Amino acid sequence: MDLIDQAAASDLRPLLRGPSRRILPVVVLPLVLVSSCAAGVWLWANLEAVVEKPEARDVASTMSLSLEDRAALFEINWAQQKTGDEIAVLNSRINALRDDLKGILDQITMLTSRIDSLQSLTPVPSAASEPPLSPARAASSVARKRFGRSKPQGPVSVGGAPVIAGPKTAEP
C-alpha cells in the first residue's frame, strides 16, 4: 500500500504544479499592461500640470499684486541673487584656503618625517663622553662663583635708562 500511495502522490504533484505556473503569466501580464496604459492616459491628461514651469505660476500670481508689493518682491529676489553670488565667492575662497592648508599639512608631514629620520641617525651625546675640565679651569670657575662680579660704584641705571647725576650736596 505504501508503494501505491507514493506512486499516486508523485503523479499528482506535477499535475498540481503545472497549471498554476501557466496561469501566472496569463493573469499577471494583462494586469501589468492595463495598469501601465491607465498610468499613461492619466499622465497624458495631466501633462500640462506636470510640465508647467513654476515661473509661469509666479508670473500669474505677481500680476495680481500691487506696485509696492511687486517692488518689494523684486528687491527680495535681487537680494537673494546677490547673496547667492556672495556665497559662491566665499565657497571658492574657502576651497582655495583648504587647498593651501592641505599643502601646508603636507609640508609639515614631510618635515616631521625628515626630523624623525635625522634624529634616528644622530647618536645622542652622553654626559660621560665629555672630557673633564682641567684643574686650572675648574679653580677659576670656583673663584668666580665665590667672589662674584664686582659691584659698580656710583649711580646705577635701572632698565637701561641713562643716569643723570644731580648736584652734589655737602656731607655734614
Choice between 112 and 7, residue whose per-residue pLDDT is larger: 112
In the numeric block, which cell numbers belong to residue 35?
Answer: 495598469
Most confident among 13-17, 26-30, 131-135, 159-163 (mean pLDDT): 26-30
Could you tell me the pLDDT band of residue 29, with boundaries at 50, 70 and 90? confident
What DSSP character marks residue 53?
Answer: -
Q: Model confidence over 93-127: pLDDT tens digits? A: 999 999 999 999 999 999 999 999 999 886 655 55
Are the C-beta atoms of residues 163 and 156 closer than 8 Å to each other?
yes
Q: What is the pLDDT of residue 130?
A: 55
Specify the pLDDT at position 113.
Answer: 95
How high is the pLDDT of residue 65?
81
pLDDT of residue 78: 94
- State the Cα–Cα distance between residues 146 and 149, nearest whole angstrom: 9
Residue 148 reports pLDDT greater than 90: no
pTM given for the model: 0.34
Report pLDDT for 3.
Answer: 62
Query: How sure is the predictor about 87, in pLDDT bands with cuts at 50, 70 and 90?
Result: very high
Rg of the Cα atoms in the chain: 49
Mean pLDDT of the chain: 75
Report whether 140 contacts 133 (CB < 8 A): no
- 10 Å CB burial of residue 38 (0-12, 13-18, 19+) is exposed
Contacts of residues 49-54 at CB distance under 8 Å and 24 or more positions apart, as own/partner, are: none
Q: What is the pLDDT of residues 47-80, one digit of tens each?
A: 777 676 666 556 556 677 888 888 999 999 999 9
What separation in angstroms does the CA of 67 have from each of 2, 17, 27, 140, 164?
96, 76, 62, 99, 82
Residue by residue, DSSP assigns 73-88 as: HHHHHHHHHHHHHHHH
Decide if pLDDT at 138 tops 60: no
